Amino acid sequence: MAIEYVLELTGADVDNVAHLLTRTATNAGLVDQAGGEPNVGGTGDWLDSGVFLRAVANPPLPFRDPIEKKLGIAPTTSVLFRFTTADDPVRQTHDMVRLVSVLLTEIRGDAALLFNGDVVWLLRKGGQLTISNEDDFWEPDLQALLPQPFDRASLPVL
């Protein structure tokens, strides 16, 4: 069973998101540079930690998006983070949060980080960043990677 997180972004251009992810992953040493730049905007690519990373545009749906319905945000771009169970989950989580932080800093729209499609770990709406206080996910070392300031609160489940 795969462990998946998706960062949903509003008002974000998928090409810009892919470029930011590629630049950040390369500059931070999260990918083996001998293999060339990661292809996160196309078919997706793997980070050295074992995270599969892919940015995709969200096409319009013929019905109201559950994220829009429940959270009040309409995502235009999704970033998939799929963890491999054979690799270190702590390292994978740190790599993901580093990349999420860059996107939150560089892209000004609303955002939501979802675990397995329904658990909301992070929500930015109207410029206010809130992280979930429901679990031990947001350990102090991960909180330190996030853009400041943020609040902690109970976030809805989709």
**Could you tell me the pTM of the whole model?**
0.94
What pLDDT does 60 receive? Answer: 82
In whole angstroms, give the CA distance from residue 20 to residue 88.
24
Distance CA 42, CA 29 (A): 20
Largest CA distance in the chain: 44
Phi and psi at residue 86, in whole multiples of 5°?
Answer: -80, -15
Can you give the pLDDT at residue 34? 66
Contact 77, 70 (CB under 8 A): no
pLDDT in tens, the chain (158 residues): 679 999 999 999 999 999 999 999 999 989 876 666 778 888 899 999 999 999 999 988 888 888 999 999 999 999 999 999 889 999 999 999 999 999 999 999 999 999 999 999 999 999 999 999 987 899 999 999 999 999 999 999 98
Angle of helix 14-27 relative to helix 89-106, nearest 10 degrees? Answer: 130
Q: Which pair of tokens denotes residue 42?
A: 């196309």
At residue 121, what is the residue type?
W
